[in-house]
Amino acid sequence: MSATRKIKALTPPDIVSRKGETPLVCLTAYTTPMARLVDGVCDIALVGDSVGMVLHGLPSTLGVTLDIMVMHGQAVRRGLERALMVVDMPFGSYEEGPEQAFRNAARLMAETGCAAVKLEGGDGMAGTIQFLVARGIPVMAHVGLTPQAVNTFGGYKVQGRGEDAERILRDATSVSEAGAFAIVLEKVPSQLASRITADIAIPTIGIGAGSACDGQILVVDDMLGMFTDFRPKFVKRYAELGEQAEAAIAAYARDVRERRFPGAEHVFGNGPKAIKGGEPA
| H-only helix segments in the chain | 12-16, 32-39, 51-54, 66-77, 98-112, 126-134, 150-153, 165-178, 190-199, 220-223, 241-257
Dihedral over Cα of 117, 234, 210, 171: its sign? negative
Q: Which residues are annotated as a binding site?
A: 49-50, 88, 118, 120
Residue segments in the chain with a per-residue pLDDT below the cut of 70: 1-5, 273-281
Q: Is 259 exposed, middle or buried (0-12, 13-18, 19+ CB in 10 A)?
A: exposed
pLDDT tens, residue by residue, 35-77: 999 999 999 999 999 999 999 999 999 999 999 999 999 999 9
Residue 87's pLDDT is what? 98
Contact between residue 241 and residue 221 where contact means Cβ atoms under 8 Å apart: no
Cα(73)–Cα(118) distance, integer angstroms: 13
Cα(215)–Cα(145) distance, integer angstroms: 17
Residue 7's pLDDT is what? 84
CB atoms within 10 A of CB 245: 13
Residue 1's pLDDT is what? 43
Buried b (16+ CB within 10 A) or exposed e, 167-182: ebbebbbbbbebbbbb
Domain annotation for the chain: domains and CATH numbers: 12-223 (3.20.20.60)
Give the residue among 103, 90, 89, 88 at the shortest CA–CA distance from 64: 90
- Three-state secondary structure string covering 129-170: HHHHHHCCCCEEEEEECCHHHHHHHCCCCCCCCHHHHHHHHH
**Which of 21, 163, 166, 186 is the catalytic position?**
186
Q: Which residues are annotated as a binding site for Mg(2+)?
A: 49, 88, 120
177 annotated active-site? no
Q: Is 30 helix (H, G, I), strand (E, B) or coil?
A: coil
Cα(233)–Cα(218) distance, integer angstroms: 12
Q: Which residues are annotated as a binding site for 3-methyl-2-oxobutanoate?
A: 49-50, 88, 118
